[in-house]
């Protein structure tokens, strides 16, 4: 598919392309056959009702959009460390690479802990049951893949112009996702992530706007 995934600094492991679509009410990932029956809803105890479909859909949409967006920002920022000659851009990119990698990892950890509880289905393979492979990194969205392809060959000022434009769009999108989930989200763990990460995104937007 031509998806670009860069390893985190200091790691020899190349992040695998995986999917978050299965967090949405047990939806199958692309590798599934389609013959597999939809798994039953899960409740932690007889007194605990399963999550409503609207709540699960809202949560699934948030994770399936916010995680790849954070991961995209981190990946593009690591590109900037090699392709930009602007000291201010490189400094901001270094911060974004670190912070947004942490944000993407937090969201992936939530999926690995909670997705199987909600859907009884691994977010990595769609398989059901203990010991299923875990999510390591989200698939980038198609537009994000295109943006990385645009950025990769560019250098210097040409890179800087495209980078600032692309990153601003991604940060504003992430800002809106966090703000909406803080106001309307029902999962306390995800809301805590959004509340923690939202001020960092706000600050990055302000700094990027000064470049």
Q: Can you state the percent helix, strand and coil of the chain, rounding each to 5?
A: 60, 0, 40
* pLDDT for residue 59: 84
* Every domain of the chain and the residues it spans: 21-209
Q: Is the entire prediction scored with pTM above 0.75? A: no
CATH 3.40.50.2000 for domain 21-209, yes or no, is: no
Q: Within a 13 Å sphere around the CA of 131, how many CA atoms are in the beta-carbon half? A: 0
- What mean pLDDT do residues 76-97 have? 97
The whole-chain average pLDDT of the chain stands at 74
Query: Based on the number of CB atoms within 10 Å of its own CB, is 140 exposed (0-12), middle (13-18) or buried (19 or more)?
Result: buried
Over residues 37-51, the pLDDT tens digits come to 332 222 233 333 344
Who wins on pLDDT, 53 or 160? 160
């Amino acid at each position: 598919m031509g998806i670009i995934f860069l390893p985190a600094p200091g790691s020899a492991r190349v992040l695998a392309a995986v999917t978050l679509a299965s967090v949405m009410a047990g939806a199958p990932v692309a590798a599934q056959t389609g013959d597999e029956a939809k798994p039953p809803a899960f409740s932690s105890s007889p007194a605990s009702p399963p999550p409503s479909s609207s709540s699960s859909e809202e949560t699934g949409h948030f994770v399936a959009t916010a995680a790849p967006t954070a991961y995209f920002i981190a990946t593009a920022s690591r590109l900037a460390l090699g392709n930009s000659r602007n000291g201010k851009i490189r400094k901001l990119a270094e911060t974004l690479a670190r912070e947004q990698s942490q944000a993407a990892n937090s969201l992936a950890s939530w999926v690995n802990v909670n997705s199987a509880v909600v859907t009884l289905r691994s977010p990595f393979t769609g398989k059901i049951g203990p010991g299923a492979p875990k999510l390591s990194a989200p698939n980038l969205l198609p537009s994000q893949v295109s943006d990385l392809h645009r950025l990769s060959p560019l250098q210097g000022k040409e890179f800087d112009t495209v980078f600032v434009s692309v990153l601003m769009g991604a940060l504003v999108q992430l800002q809106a996702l966090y703000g909406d989930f803080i106001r309307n989200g029902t999962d306390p763990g995800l809301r805590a992530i959004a509340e923690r990460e939202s001020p960092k995104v706000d600050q990055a937007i302000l700094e990027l706007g000064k470049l």
